[in-house]
Amino acid sequence: MKNIKRIFIPLFIVLSIFAVNLSCSNDDEIVLTPTKITEDTSGDTETTTGEVEGSEGEITLYKVDGENITKVQDYKVSGKNLEYQKDVVKHKEIWELVKKIVPLDQRKKMGEFLIYSGETSGSAGFVIEMERDLSVWKMGIAIDYAYVDGFNAGGELAYTIIHEFGHILTLNNTQLDATVTIENCKNYFPGEGCSFEKSYINELHSKYWNDIWSEYQNAKKDESTQEKFYNKYKERYVTQYASTNPGEDIAEVFATFTTLKEKPEGKTIAEKKILLMYNREELVNFRNHIRKNLALRGKGSTAAFELPQPGKWKQANTFGNLSKTKCRH
């Protein structure tokens, strides 16, 4: 058994590096974790521990099965991260919040769930496709950030999960065709595939990015020009982070649409972007589902969770990676 593992581990690492290169054009991002699913016919969750050392703060990887998560592997960690690894109650607590936010039919698009340390990468969460056809996704949540000042303090974690769910919602195979290359794509091409004409991201891009696209292409070369671009077009974006690229924009619009109590009037382009989501019945249903589950409305006056005010989210006033549509936020 040991020998088999030794043969397999390097292979998995090679595969994971290959997968990262497919989806992320730079190498300074979260490395897709090696996936080593152990035989588990009895429902026993015992797995190998600590044999693989993640390069991006990986702590524990789970397989997602709709409602439940099953441990695939613990990574080799030490110190604080080892304490986080042992604290499976926290892993489950985070997962329960994911379940409240991501409805079951959408959760079926999630194949894996990673608990990692945000300190290494500086990110609070990420999603990455597990299948090239974009049908299955992995979500990662930084456990150290999830517990700053207590679990989900200020609603930061809930906001992060909503934002990440926004990526899955807008980049999956019902929205993009991964078999169409950029050269053959008539619509917006976020990197993972060609967006369908009626997809959420293509609508957003054609209405509110297309007219400033060449300026944006020029602006995204470095952070100072990106900042000038943002300052010029501030009224188009729900947060500064949203101006990173259309992929981050739509995730931020979805998070703002969900967390903002009132329907905006549509006075600014940023508000008009939110209204695009009000036009989509299924998105309104997701919004209602999340708000109800987080007790943002309905029974009693005490909200179970508080969410950051739009624009007050910790990473709201930063820029993300300019060349990516997701991977990290």
- Closest residue to Zn ion: CB criterion: 329
Kindly tell me which residue out of 107, 138, 273, 329 binds Zn ion, with binding defined by CB under 5 A.
Answer: 329
Nearer to Zn ion, 74 or 252 (CB): 252
Nearer to Zn ion, 34 or 193 (CB): 193
- Contact range with Zn ion by CB under 5 A, out of 153-161, 170-178, 204-212, 249-257: 249-257
d(CA 127, CA 112): 10
- Contact range with Zn ion by CB under 5 A, out of 47-55, 88-96, 201-209, 247-255: 247-255
Nearer to Zn ion, 19 or 251 (CB): 251
Contact between 251 and Zn ion per CB under 5 A: yes
Nearer to Zn ion, 238 or 251 (CB): 251
Closest separation in Å from C-beta 218 to Zn ion: 23
Closest separation in Å from C-beta 205 to Zn ion: 16
Nearer to Zn ion, 81 or 170 (CB): 170
Closest separation in Å from C-beta 324 to Zn ion: 8
Instruction: Report how many helices (DSSP H) and strands (DSSP E) the chain contains, helices first.
Output: 13, 7
Contacts of 151 (CB under 8 A, 6+ apart): 90, 93, 157
Nearer to Zn ion, 62 or 241 (CB): 241
Binding footprint of Zn ion, residue count (CB under 5 A): 2
d(CA 185, CA 176): 10
Contact between 138 and Zn ion per CB under 5 A: no
Q: Hey, what are 8's tokens?
A: 């397999």
Closest separation in Å from C-beta 167 to Zn ion: 6
Contacts of 94 (CB under 8 A, 6+ apart): 115, 141, 143, 146, 157
- In the chain, the N- to C-terminal Cα span, in Å, equals 38
Closest separation in Å from C-beta 194 to Zn ion: 20
Closest separation in Å from C-beta 110 to Zn ion: 16
Site for Zn ion in 3-62 (CB under 5 A): none
Q: Hey, what are 253's tokens?
A: 């619009």
d(CA 165, CA 40): 28
Candidates 120, 162, 121; CA nearest to 139 is 162
User: DSSP readout, 282-307?
Assistant: HHHHHHHHHHHHTTSSSSSS--S---
Contacts of 219 (CB under 8 A, 6+ apart): 225, 226, 228, 229
Closest separation in Å from C-beta 76 to Zn ion: 28
Residues that bind Zn ion (CB under 5 A): 251, 329
